[in-house]
Structure 1
Amino acid sequence: MKLNIPTENERLKRLIQRVEEDKELEELWRCSNVNAIDRLGFTDHGPVHVKIVANAALRLSHLLEGVEKPGVVEDHHLPQEYSEIVVFLAAVLHDLGMVVQREEHEKYSVVLAHHFLQKLLYDYPPEERAIITSEVLHAITSHYSGVCLTKEAGILCIADALDMEKGRARIPFDAGKVDIHSVSALAIENVEVLKGEKKPVVIRIKMSNSAGIFQVDQLLRERIRKSGLQDYIEVIAEISETEKKILHRFELR
């Protein structure tokens, strides 16, 4: 699967190609959606989600390059380019645990990710492979629960929440799952990660209905706070002048 990730980082380019060519990994992404969408009626946790999160995470990594030292730089004294590697690998592997179970899926993701990290990093020196693996596994388990102890983990935590546009919620909504999560997500028309003026990053969200505030105020706000990077991120949510009706009727059952 093509991830369409632009980068000048040569190490990262090679890893992107390896991920794109890994048929086992691609099949597990599909299996994640069998559980998430087909069996549980949840939103996409498969290939499209992975692509969106990976691109958003690397975009955040680039915009935040001048603030806070990454874990691999601060604690392991590796070059800056390795931080992008950690962010990318964590992004493409973070939801693999959905093939096992939704509850505590991040913990199952850690187990499954270890196998792929050894494959993808086969030509790295053992010491570097161990460091990258440890940092990726921390970021994965921290994206949903636990504490983000590194910049890379915080970036993944936010990037995961940025996949909130209406296309992701359409499947469960059309299947009859009508709740504040699906309705509010359907109100999100567009999400952009841009270079900010007041802060390094501005996340600009366009909504067609005020219900989208739930996604921003309850979900994204918590992820940004949890990331430890809240001082560097500004969020602007704009509602169209003419609000689009999402529901015509709602019944409690």
Structure 2
Amino acid sequence: MYSPADDHAFPDERVNDVLERIHQDTEIQTYLEAQNVNPVDRMRYNDHGAKHIEIVQHRALCLYDLLKSAGVEFNGARQQGLDEADEPVIIALAATLHDIGHVIHRDDHAYYSLPLAADILDRLLDEFYDLSDAIRIKGEVLHAILCHHSSETPLTTEAGVIRVADALDMERGRSRVPYEDGGRGINTISSRAIDTVSLRPGEERSVLVEIRMTNAAGVYQVDNLLKRKLKNSRLEDHIRIVAINAREDEDRLVERIEL
């Protein structure tokens, strides 16, 4: 979990101020509740609301911190002439707003998120930045929001972090692969097979993502969700994924798989 009070491998004062402002913003918090109605209540899919956003925020900032600790370079803010301190701001805002398009429809929600997020960013960024920097940060946030959808290719490392962090919300049935509540298809079964997801410094690569499964069905989830999101994320060379079947009371066909 990301904690503002901890020491980090990046300047964190600015992003911590932005996070505090996000948590106090009534419009944003209302969106995070309302965006769950279409996928959950009307389509009987899994959670895409406030809890999902909280998890993605934490995963994204923790992943960013590990990558920065390993010396991975980020190009989004830098190429816009912004400060290093703006990198986590871009990540935090994109993590917060990437799914608000669900209030319109789940299908193509990444595209619907863009105009809604743009309006919020116009208001919010004015409190922290002058017009020039606000426009540049807005563009980077919208790019990251768009590219969390696997059909679009991230052009910045910041956007890649959002893409991967979105997929890391997969513990105990929280997969980003949609499934119908109560269903028994492979998406449902494999999603519920994921027990825990942890991030830590890697040895061969910058970050190790360790996924503990309750049975081998979880491999489908890892392969069809996380591996797909990691592809073309700009982070393939920096993240190692290990999935472990932790169940002891079965004839384990799969004990460990590395991606």
TM-score by length of 1: 0.89
1:173 Cα deviation from its structure 2 partner? 7.3
Match of 1:69 in 2: 74
Match of 1:115 in 2: 119
Question: Residue 152 of structure 1: which of 150, 158, 169 is its match?
Answer: 158
Cα distance in 2, alignment partners of residues 241 and 100 from structure 1: 41
Q: How does 1:8-47 map to 2 (within 5 A)?
A: 9-47=12-50
Match of 1:98 in 2: 102
Letter in 1 for 2:148: H
TM-score by length of 2: 0.87
Q: Deviations over 1:129-154 (max 9, x none)?
A: 00100000000001013110000110
Cα distance in 2, alignment partners of residues 90 and 21 from structure 1: 17
Is residue 181 from structure 1 mapped to residue 184 from structure 2 by the alignment?
Answer: no
Match of 2:93 in 1: 89
Query: 3-state DSSP class of the match of 2:231?
Result: helix
User: What is the number of equivalent residue pairs in this alignment?
Assistant: 239
In structure 2, relative to structure 1, the CA distance for the partners of 1:166 and 1:133 (3 Å cut) is same
Q: Is the deviation greater in 8-17 or in 129-138?
A: 8-17
Question: Residue 202 of structure 1: which of 198, 208, 212 is its match?
Answer: 208
1:167 Cα deviation from its structure 2 partner? 4.5
Match of 2:253 in 1: none
1:228 Cα deviation from its structure 2 partner? 1.7
Q: Is the deviation greater in 229-238 or in 62-71?
A: 62-71
Match of 1:251 in 2: none
Gaps of 5+ in 1: 245-253
Q: Deviations over 1:156-201 (max 9, x none)?
A: 00000000011526xx979422221121110000000111111110
Is the 8 Å Cα contact of residues 189 and 206 (structure 1) preserved in structure 2?
yes
Match of 1:250 in 2: none
Query: 3-state DSSP class of the match of 1:198?
Result: coil
Letter in 2 for 1:131: R
Q: How does 1:232-247 map to 2 (within 5 A)?
A: 232-242=238-248
Letter in 2 for 1:32: Q
In structure 2, relative to structure 1, the CA distance for the partners of 1:156 and 1:179 (3 Å cut) is same
Match of 1:219 in 2: 225
- Identity over aligned pairs, percent: 39
Gaps of 5+ in 2: 251-259
Is the 8 Å Cα contact of residues 138 and 153 (structure 1) preserved in structure 2?
yes
Is the 8 Å Cα contact of residues 97 and 108 (structure 1) preserved in structure 2?
yes
Cα distance in 1, alignment partners of residues 38 and 180 from structure 2: 17
Is residue 56 from structure 1 mapped to residue 62 from structure 2 by the alignment?
Answer: no
Match of 2:141 in 1: 136
1:69 Cα deviation from its structure 2 partner? 2.7
In structure 2, relative to structure 1, the CA distance for the partners of 1:221 and 1:4 (3 Å cut) is closer
Letter in 2 for 1:79: D
1:4 Cα deviation from its structure 2 partner? 6.6
**Which one has the bigger helix percentage?**
1
Is the 8 Å Cα contact of residues 153 and 232 (structure 2) preserved in structure 1?
yes
Shift >6 Å, 4+ stretches: none
Match of 1:78 in 2: 82
Question: Residue 164 of structure 1: which of 151, 170, 175 is its match?
Answer: 170
Letter in 2 for 1:135: E
In structure 2, relative to structure 1, the CA distance for the partners of 1:149 and 1:38 (3 Å cut) is same
Cα distance in 1, alignment partners of residues 93 and 180 from structure 2: 32
